[in-house]
Amino acid sequence: MSQPVLQSDLIRSVKARRPGRAARLGVSPFDPDETPLARTRRARRMARELADIHSDAHCELDFTTPLELLVATVLSAQTTDRMVNRVSPALFARYPDAVAYAGADRGELEEVLKPTGFFRAKANSVIGLGQTLVERFAGEVPGNLPDLVTLPGVGRKTANVVLGNAFEVPGLTVDTHFGRLVRRFGWTAEEDPVKVETEVAELVPKKEWTIFSHRVIFHGRRVCHAKKPACGACGLAAWCPSFGIGPLDPEVAGKLVKSPAASDTE
């Protein structure tokens, strides 16, 4: 069972907190004067708190093989994990391996993928995936980043999802939630996902990269929303320079916190 987003004592401590410097001044939460050691210590404290807050964090795409996860991750672009999980059972049953995707009838495949949106482009990617895997990798999903990013529709983010969750190779998944939060945390000022990944990799132990990514994404979906973060109901408030950009009153902020069932619609 997952733990509550906040413990009552943390809620009380939030009441007494004043907005952080970045929130007060309307400036970037990244402080160039913060020493690398201080930033690392603060980041690791926040990472430990995230582990308690989101003890239920996990990959929300359903899969049993690396190929299934690869395809599901490609399909998750511009849609929700929940929608992909609705489509994937029929998809995986009809196309059990790379050979099946490579030889798929485009019309039939598009019909299966239609609920995920952008189904024509996704069908192209999935067919291309199957063909490339058959032609270059004997039908098997490669377990390394350089090969994965050569596949149709596969970028660094998708590759890290597959490596971390299907091959247990640590990787940071820099999606929109992840990038937004680590910038709000003041861990980086970078916008480019690769640069974000590089800087955050220096702050979090490598062995934790995969699960840490899930925790940050859970926090972004449930608590630290893009437009109205639930600052007054956030267990990271004591270490976050962006504290105060959302409602501070715990009761008001608490109403913004999404349940697990609601959060996976983002």
Q: Which of 157, 195, 206, 207 is catalytic?
A: 157
Q: What are phi and psi of 40, to 5 degrees?
A: -65, -45
Torsion of CA 12, 15, 16, 18, to 10 degrees: 140
157 is catalytic: yes
175 annotated active-site: yes
Which distant-in-sequence residues (6+ apart) come within 8 Å of 16 by Cβ? none
Choosing from 31, 62, 147, 175, the catalytic residue is 175
Distance set, CA 58 to CA 5, 77, 93, 182 (Å): 16, 18, 24, 19
Residue numbers annotated as active site: 157, 175
